[in-house]
Amino acid sequence: MPDIVTSNIPERIGRANQVDPGILNFLKANNLRLGGKEPFTDERRHHTEVLAVEPPQHLVHVRVEPLIVRGPVGDFNVRCYHPSDKKGAAFIYIHGGGWTVGSLPEFDTFFRIMAEESGVQVYAIEYHLAPEHKVEQYFLFEATLRWLHQNASNRSVDPNRISVGGDSAGGNMAAVTALRMRELKGPKIALQVLIYPEAKVPFETLAGAENCTGLYLETQGVLLFAWNVLPQGKNHTDYDITPLLADKTLPEGHRNLPKAFIITNGFDPLRDTGFEYAKKLKAAGNEVLYVNHEDLTHGFIQFTKWSKRAMEETVELARTVGKELAN
């Protein structure tokens, strides 16, 4: 049975006695890690080799539309995944990978699941990776949001039901986009979906210590990823890098933000900082849905081919988003 998504944030969270065997066997068989000691270029190549696979047969029919959107530093590519049963809502998504690793083909099955199980159009942003490119990734999110609002009627999208989301570093960028749009009085966001987000570096947390290695995301690797994406002189505690600390740098702090759906995992270095972000949003008066998957790891939305639990919770995630954007 899928874990229960709740609007009542628990007092504490943790991890199960053991990690999901399907994920653990997959990670070991493929020697797959994020933020390891090998050169990041090798890590990129290995992720593509392992994760850029054909979608399952029941999702092959999902139509994928290539789009080009004008951005702050030139045009960029977006893929739109069309559900069979369109409900007039949209989900703008930017993938994770520490800003350094990852590509749309590696997340293709996830996007198909999201579209088909939610009934929502999924707009997946392709962005240049760090360290070759720094910070500009955040502005592609905003550019896509503004573009979709401007073209909503042509895209058969209700502008009141446009959501944003991302996993890991993508979850960080989605949270930052919600904060920025409030600060700039930008386009409306109906829902922010933060999948094991990097709300803050996890080095001092229990989750960062007990899940430091061997569970896909390496805690030490988060330091490398932050180094890769930050320009020289950028303060890592600014809200547009560390959304958990927005109450330290913005007058409104975490108040008056879109409803949030936050997902964390027991065997994930980012578990505790994601949980803290859920609590801060709730304490600031925002609507929050939350779930912690005690037996899953970082990256589970990409592991659905190899883990029944990963598939189960990814489908449930998509259905929850669909319900939230239904009207």
Q: Which residues of 120-146 are buried (b: 16+ CB within 10 A; e: fewer)?
A: bbbbbbbbebbeeebebbbbbbbbbbe
Please report the pLDDT score of residue 73 as a whole number.
Answer: 83
- Is 158 among the residues known to form the active site? no
- Give the residue carrying structure tokens 């070991």: 28
Are 121 and 80 a contacting pair, CB within 8 Å?
A: yes
* Active-site option among 240, 268, 272, 295: 268
* Catalytic residue selected from 118, 163, 168, 307: 168
Radius of gyration of the chain (CA): 18
| 163 among known catalytic residues | no
Is 168 one of the annotated active-site residues of the chain? yes
* Active-site entry in 47, 95, 254, 298: 298
- The side-by-side arrangement of strands in the sheet containing 121-125 is 63-71, 74-82, 121-125, 90-94, 162-167, 192-195, 260-267, 288-297
> Which pLDDT value is given to residue 44?
98
Q: For residue 164, give the H/E element and its range.
A: strand 162-167
- What string of pLDDT tens digits covers the 327 residues of the chain? 899 999 999 999 999 999 999 999 999 999 999 999 999 999 999 999 999 999 999 999 999 999 999 998 899 999 999 999 888 999 999 999 999 999 999 999 999 999 999 999 999 999 999 999 988 889 999 999 999 999 999 999 999 999 999 999 999 999 999 999 999 999 999 999 999 999 999 999 999 999 999 999 999 999 999 999 999 999 889 999 999 999 999 999 999 999 999 999 999 999 999 999 999 999 999 999 999 999 999 999 999 999 999 999 999 999 999 999 997
CA 310 to CA 295: how far, in whole Å? 10
Predicted confidence at residue 1, as pLDDT, reads: 83
The pair of structure tokens assigned to 18 is: 């053991």
Closest CA to 187 of 165, 159, 166: 159
**Whole-number pLDDT of residue 327:** 74
Dihedral, CA atoms, 321, 281, 272, 23, nearest 10 degrees? 0
DSSP state of 123: E
Compute CA distances 327 → 3, 149, 159, 283, 321, whole Å: 24, 17, 12, 26, 11
Nearest-angstrom CA–CA distance, 223 and 202: 9
Number of Cβ within a 10 Å radius of residue 37: 10
Please tell me the predicted confidence (pLDDT) of residue 26.
98
Q: Which domains are assigned to the chain?
A: 21-324 (3.40.50.1820)
A 10 A CB-CB count for 231 gives: 8
- Whether cis (ω within 30° of 0) applies to the bond prior to 131 is yes
Query: According to the model, what pLDDT value does residue 200 have?
Result: 97
Contact 297, 264 (CB under 8 A): no
Give, rounded to a whole angstrom, the gap between the first and last alpha carbons of the chain. Answer: 26
Provide the CB-side half-sphere exposure for 68 (13 A, CA): 2
Q: Report the residue count for the chain.
A: 327
Other Cβ atoms within 10 Å of 11 Cβ, number: 6
